[in-house]
Structure 1
Amino acid sequence: MKRREFLNTGLLAAVTGAFAAPTILNAKSPSARKKAKNIIFMVSDGMSSGTLNMADLLLQRKEGRGSTWIDLYRQNRVKKAFMDTASANSLVTDSAAGASAWGGGKRVKNGSLNVNPDGTFNKPILQKFKEAGKAVGCVTTVPITHATPAGFSVNFKHRNMQDKIASKYLDLKFDVMMGGGLEYFDGTKRDDKKNIFEDFNQAGFQVVRDKSQMKNTIKGKPVIGVFHEDGLPYDLDLQNNAELKDKIPTLSEMTKKAIELMSSNSDGFVLQVEGGKVDWAAHANDTAALIYEQVAFDKAVAEAIKFAEGRNDTLVVITTDHGNANPGLIKSKKVDKKFETLFSAKYTNDKLLFEITKNDKPSDVIERIKHAQNIVISDSEAKEILKAYDSHEEGLYNAYNLPFEPLAQIQQNYTSVGWSGMNHSADFVELAMFGAGSEKLTPFVKNYELHNYMLQVAEVNDLALV
C-alpha cells in the first residue's frame, strides 16, 4: 500500500501531511509531538478479553494491585481501540496471518508468513526498520522461529518451516532474537544435522543458552538466545522450580535486556515482545497456566512502560493477534472463593497431566491435583481423568495427547472458570498505545493498518525501502 493510499484509509483519515496538528494529551503521557524513534510492540498471543480481566482480578485479590495493562486504562494513560483480526481467507485468523498483517501490511491466508495468495511477498516491517538504521529484534516465550516473531521478520509460504526460518535469521542479522526453539538451531536435533549455533557464532553473534549468559551480553554485537526446546516452560512452573528459574529467563527479563542492548542505537529501535504461551494455555484450557502466563506478560509490559514513560520518543503498542477459547469467570455458588483457589496453584495442568499415567490409582490423581493446585476432586472425577488417557485427545500443542479438556471441565466446578472451546475466536481484540504517536489511534482499526501506522509515526518512508 502506497503512503497516499494509506492516508486515505480510516486509521489515519484525520491526518493531513506527515503529522496532524498537535493534540492535547493526558498530562501523564509523554508528548506525542515527537516522532516514535523507538517502538515496542507487545503481543499477548491468543488473549481473549476474559484472560486480560482474570489476570487483573487475580492480582487485585491476591496482591492488592491491578495489572499494569488495566491500570493504564484506569489512569487514562493510553489510547485504546478494538481491532479486527481477520485473515485473507477467514474471519478467524491464526498467528501467522495475524502477525503478517502487522508485519507486511496486507492480510494473507492462515498459515502464511507475508506471502500473498498470488505468491508475491510483502516486505516484513523489521526488515524495513533495519534498513532505516534502527536496531530490531524479537523476544518470545515460544520458539523464536514461531509464527508471531516470524510474521514481523520473514517471508515463507508456511509457518511450519521453522528450521529454514532459523537459517534466515542468520542472513537478516537482526540485533536481538531470544526465546525457545532449540531444535531448530542445534545440529543434533535438526533433520539436516546443521549446527546453526556455530554459524551464528562465526557471523559475530553472541550466542546465549541460559539466563546468566543473557545477562552478560554486551552492546554492539547481535544476540541470538535460545533457552529451551520448543516453548519455554510456563511461568507458573518456572517460578516453582529453582533449577529452571536459575537457568531460563522470564519474558520480562528478556524484554528488559533487549531494551538495554538496543536502546543505545542512535537511530532508535523496534522490538516485538510476545507472550506466546498465553495462546498455548488457552488451547489447552489450562486456567492456572493461562492466568499466570498473562501476569508474566504484564510484567514485560511494565518494563516497556518503565522505559517509555518520561520520554517523548517511544511508542508502546499492547495488543493480541486474536482471541482463543474465550475463558471467563462464571457466576456460581461461592464464586469468589473458588476463583481464589488459583492463588495457591503451584503447577500447570500441562505439568500435572504429564506426570499422571493411566496406570495410576484414583487416589494418586486426587493427591497430585491437590498438591499442584489445592483442588480436591472426587474419586469419580479422578477415574474420569484416568479413563481419558485412553481417548487419545488431540489438539494444538498437545503432542502427547494429554486429556486437557476433561480436566478443565472438572476444574470449572472448583475454580468457576469456564471456556467456550479450545481454539481461536473471531473476537475484536484490545489494542492500547502509550507514548509518541499514540494520539493518532482511532477507536476501531483493522490489523493490517498497524503496519503503515508504525512506519508513519516513526517517520520512516516506506517508498524508499521497497
Structure 2
Amino acid sequence: MKQRIRGICGILLTAAVLCAWGCGSKPQDGGATLPPAASATPEKETIDYLNELTEIEFTQAKNVILFIGDGMGMNHIPATDAIAGGQYNGKLAIEYLPNQGTAITLCNEGEPDSASGGTALACGYKSNRKYLAMNVKREEVQSVVELAHSLGKKTGVVTNESIVDATPAAFTIHAPNRDDESDIAKLQIETSVADLIIGGGKAMYDKALEDSAYRQMLEDNRITYATTWEEVEAYPNEGRLIATLTDDYFEKAEEASPTLAQMTEKALSLLSESEEGFFLLVEGGAMDESAHVSDVMELTRQMLAFDDAVSLGIRFAAEHPDTIVIVTADHDTGGLQPKEQADPYVTAHRAEYHTSEMLKYEAALQEANPEVDLAALPYRFTTIAHTNNNVQVFALGFGTEIFNGETVQSFEIGKFIGAALGDESFGAQNKNGLQ
C-alpha cells in the first residue's frame, strides 16, 4: 500500500456514504449505530459449502489463489464480526477455512512495508523496505507469477488498489523503489509476464503512456489495455490484459464499480480456461487506506468486500479440489484492538498520536457522522502506521495443513506456493528468514 496518510479532507468525503450505516442496523450497547452485514440472510447453498470444506478430498494442486488483505492485522476479522455481525452465521467466509495459523511479517530492516511484505509472499524472500521482487543485494528474484508462467500456467493479479502500488508490483515486476510508480507502469508493460493485471492506477498509466514507445509496446506485446469494465468484459482472452479502472484506488467499498468480487470472478473465469492451471493474486488493498486514517467504519466495509471475493475463491476450490486457497496479509496497519484489552504501552502510544494525527482523524469522522457514536465502537486503532504484529494465515487445499496451528515466517508462504506450483527449490532463505 501507499506510504502516505490521506488528509482530513479525504476523510470528510466519506460523509455521503457513511449515512447508510444507520439504515436498518441495530445499535450496539453504548449507542453506536452499526452497519448491517453485507449478506444478512445468506443463501443456504453458501452456508452448506462453507460447512462442508473439511469433507472435500483435495488433490495435488494445479491452481493457487492467494488473497492478501493489505494491512489486515490479527483483529481486523474479529472487529468486522463484532461491528457488522459476520456474513455467514456470524462469521466471515474467511473464517471457515480449516487450516489457520499466523505469520511473522518483519522484513530485513524490521517493520515491514507492502513492498517487503509483498516480496516475501511473491518470491519467498525477506528483503528491504521499498524493494520489489529483489533480495537485499538488489538482485532480481523470481516471483510466483514468473514461476507459474514458466510452467505453462496462466497468471493474474487483481486489486482494488492501484496496480502500480507495492503489492501488485511485487508480483509483476522487479524494481528497487516502490515509489517510482510511473516506471512501474512501464515495467508492467515491458517486462511483466502476468496474463491479467486488473485494478486502479489509470493516472500513472496515463503518465507512462505519454511516451509513445510504450503505447507501441502495448501493441507489440499483444496487450489489451482497458480503462472501463465494459472493455474488460469484452476482452477475448488472447494476449495479455492490463486494466486500470480508476485513477488511483477504489476509495469507497459501497461505491466500487466493479467490486473486488466482480474482478475476482472475471479473473477466475478467464484463467480457469487454462488446461495447465493458474496462479491468481487477489489483493484487498483499499482496506489499508482506511486503517491509515483510523476509519474503522470504512475498514469494515472494505473487509466485507474482501470477504465477498474470498468466498468466490473458496467456492471455486470446493468445485475444483486441485486448487489451493490461501488468505493472509503483508503486514498489520493500525494496531486495531478491543478496547478492553488496552495495556499501558498501547495507551501511552495512542496518547502520543492523540496529540497529533489520530485525534484529528477521529474528530473529523465524528463530525461527519453525528449519527454514529464512534466512542461506542468495540475496537479502536492504536496507531496510523504499520506495526510489527503477526498476521493471520487461512488456507484450504492439498498440503495446507502445515499452516494449521503454526507460526511461520511470511516468506515461507511464498516458498509453499512455489512448491505447490511445482518447484520445491523456489525461494531461498537462511534459518531465521533474513539475509
Normalised by the length of structure 2, the TM-score is: 0.75
Give yes or no for contact 2:74–2:390 (8 Å, CA) kept in 1.
no
Give yes or no for contact 1:278–1:293 (8 Å, CA) kept in 2.
yes
- Whether 1:128 aligns to 2:147 is yes
CA distance in 2, matches of 1:168, 1:29: 44
CA offsets, 1:152-202, max 9 Å, x none?
22221111122122122223242110011112211xx44965584664245
Give yes or no for contact 1:141–1:277 (8 Å, CA) kept in 2.
yes
CA distance in 2, matches of 1:36, 1:103: 18
Quick one: which amino acid aligns to residue 57 of structure 2?
Answer: S
Match of 1:453 among 416, 421, 425: 416
Deviation at 1:307, TM superposition (A): 0.7
Instruction: Name the structure 1 match of 2:161.
Output: 142
- Whether 1:286 aligns to 2:295 is yes
TM-align CA RMSD: 2.9
Instruction: Name the structure 2 match of 1:69.
Output: 94
Q: 1:142-161 alignment to 2 at 5 Å?
A: 142-161=161-180
Match of 1:224 among 242, 267, 270: 242
Match of 1:86 among 106, 109, 115: 106
Deviation at 1:450, TM superposition (A): 1.6
Instruction: Name the structure 1 match of 2:374.
Output: 412
- Whether 1:253 aligns to 2:262 is yes
Instruction: Name the structure 1 match of 2:68.
Output: 43
CA distance 1:61–1:165, change in 2 (3 Å) = closer
Deviation at 1:461, TM superposition (A): 5.3
Give yes or no for contact 1:185–1:196 (8 Å, CA) kept in 2.
no
Q: Percent sequence identity over matched residues?
A: 24
Give yes or no for contact 2:131–2:138 (8 Å, CA) kept in 1.
no
CA distance in 2, matches of 1:423, 1:219: 40
Quick one: which amino acid aligns to residue 226 of structure 1?
Answer: T
The structure number with the bigger radius of gyration is 1
Runs of 4+ in 1 over 6 A off after TM superposition: 61-64
Deviation at 1:51, TM superposition (A): 1.6
CA offsets, 1:229-268, max 9 Å, x none?
11122213x1xxxxxx5xx311111001001001111110
Match of 2:80 among 55, 61, 78: 55
Deviation at 1:426, TM superposition (A): 1.1
CA offsets, 1:344-372, max 9 Å, x none?
xxxxxxxxxxxxxxxxxxxxxxxxxxxxx
CA offsets, 1:271-319, max 9 Å, x none?
1100001111000101221110010000000110111103221000001
Instruction: Name the structure 2 match of 1:210.
Output: 228
CA distance in 1, matches of 2:385, 2:90: 31
Deviation at 1:413, TM superposition (A): 2.3
Instruction: Name the structure 1 match of 2:183.
Output: 164
Quick one: which amino acid aligns to residue 104 of structure 2?
Answer: D
Deviation at 1:103, TM superposition (A): 1.6
CA offsets, 1:417-447, max 9 Å, x none?
4210101111111001112221233511101
- Whether 1:330 aligns to 2:339 is yes
Instruction: Report the 3-state secondary structure (helix = DSSP H, G, I; strand = E; otherwise coil) of the residue aligned with 1:281.
Output: helix
Match of 1:176 among 177, 183, 196: 196
Instruction: Report the 3-state secondary structure (helix = DSSP H, G, I; strand = E; otherwise coil) of the residue aligned with 2:149.
Output: helix
Instruction: Report the 3-state secondary structure (helix = DSSP H, G, I; strand = E; otherwise coil) of the residue aligned with 1:150.
Output: helix
CA distance in 1, matches of 2:424, 2:393: 24
Which consecutive unaligned segments of at least 5 residues does structure 2 have? 1-51, 342-353, 368-372, 428-435
CA offsets, 1:55-84, max 9 Å, x none?
2234427886431112x0xxxx42111101
Give yes or no for contact 1:82–1:429 (8 Å, CA) kept in 2.
yes
Give yes or no for contact 1:29–1:435 (8 Å, CA) kept in 2.
no
Instruction: Name the structure 2 match of 1:103.
Output: 122
Match of 1:272 among 278, 281, 301: 281
Instruction: Report the 3-state secondary structure (helix = DSSP H, G, I; strand = E; otherwise coil) of the residue aligned with 1:454.
Output: helix
Deviation at 1:403, TM superposition (A): 4.4
